[in-house]
């Protein structure tokens, strides 16, 4: 029996279990990976919002990452909520020579509306995008990273291409925040090629942790050896199935049903 691929998730903790490290570990496990964590912040949150946040020290985050990589190692790394510019710089420095895949979800605001990254932290995202295999911004995050409004398909493409050119990474621009009865995600590869993913919108309030789940799914599938475009395709399928199997918990933006979904790799 072969060993599972090793995936390190660097992100914040969500006490309600719907997003962050908790969603990452559920996703990695359901996709057949071995999950490890470096926790950047502890949040008190639920489906209604974020009630409190304590960001950990950059030194402790560094120690967690080094503990995992120096012993067990990793085949892929997912980066989510960072919490401070100091943590962002430490993560970029530690992973500069990492040889596996890096998926960076530039988390700024929780699905429930809580702000998870200030302006200084967002400014520190640049070196992480420089080393990332894939960056997965939603449309508000894409605007924050580029300064470009993204109200049309053409403007999304232009903003995504800007990030690709500036950072030599692949960008998945997630279209869930756009209006309409369909969700269009655009993948712009580092070599300039692109792919569009177009699906009917699932009408539901249970979308807490979709970005975390998608990015950790892509990281796990890349660790399994999937080509990037196919990893994104399978990860999107996993997320949609998890939304469809949402347990219905909470009064606000509820969690996904990770426990009900397995995607063959």
Indicate which residues carry an active-site annotation: 174, 207, 209-212
Measured CA to CA, the distance from residue 66 to residue 61 in angstroms comes to 9
For residue 242, the SS3 value is: helix
Measured CA to CA, the distance from residue 181 to residue 202 in angstroms comes to 8
Which tokens hold the place of 3? 């060993």
Contacts of 98 (CB under 8 A, 6+ apart): 69, 74, 77, 131
Measured CA to CA, the distance from residue 40 to residue 57 in angstroms comes to 8
Sign of CA dihedral 127, 76, 164, 97: positive
Q: What is the DSSP letter of 254?
A: P
Q: Where does 7-57 have alpha helices with state H?
A: 20-30
Distances in Å between the alpha carbon of 25 and those of 87, 177, 188, 219, 226? 21, 25, 27, 12, 19
Residue 50 has phi, psi (to 5 degrees) of -105, 120
Measured CA to CA, the distance from residue 19 to residue 212 in angstroms comes to 6
Residue 20 has phi, psi (to 5 degrees) of 60, -150
Measured CA to CA, the distance from residue 178 to residue 229 in angstroms comes to 22
Sign of CA dihedral 144, 75, 66, 42: positive
């Amino acid at each position: 029996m072969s060993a599972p691929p090793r995936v390190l998730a660097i992100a914040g903790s969500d006490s309600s279990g719907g997003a962050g490290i908790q969603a990452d570990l559920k996703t990695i496990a359901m996709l057949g990976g071995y999950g490890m964590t470096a926790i950047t912040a502890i949040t008190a949150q639920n489906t209604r919002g974020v009630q409190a946040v304590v960001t950990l020290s950059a030194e402790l985050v560094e120690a967690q990452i080094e503990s995992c990589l120096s012993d067990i190692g990793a085949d892929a790394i997912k980066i989510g909520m960072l919490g401070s510019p100091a943590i962002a710089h430490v993560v970029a420095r530690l992973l500069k020579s990492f040889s596996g895949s890096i998926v960076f979800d530039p988390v700024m605001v929780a699905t429930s509306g809580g702000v998870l990254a200030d302006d200084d932290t967002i400014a520190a995202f640049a070196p992480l995008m420089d080393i990332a295999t894939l960056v997965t911004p939603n449309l508000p995050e894409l605007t924050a990273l580029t300064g470009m409004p993204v109200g049309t398909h053409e403007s999304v493409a232009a903003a995504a291409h800007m990030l690709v050119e500036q950072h030599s990474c692949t960008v998945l621009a997630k279209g869930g925040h756009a209006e309409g009865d369909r969700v269009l995600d655009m993948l712009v590869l580092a070599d300039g090629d692109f792919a569009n993913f177009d699906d009917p919108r699932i009408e539901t309030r249970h979308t807490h942790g979709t970005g975390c789940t998608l990015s950790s799914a892509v990281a796990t599938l890349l660790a399994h050896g999937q080509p990037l475009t196919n990893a994104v395709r399978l990860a999107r399928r996993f997320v949609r199935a998890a939304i469809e199997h949402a347990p219905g918990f909470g009064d606000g933006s509820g969690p996904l049903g990770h426990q009900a979904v397995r995607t063959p790799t």
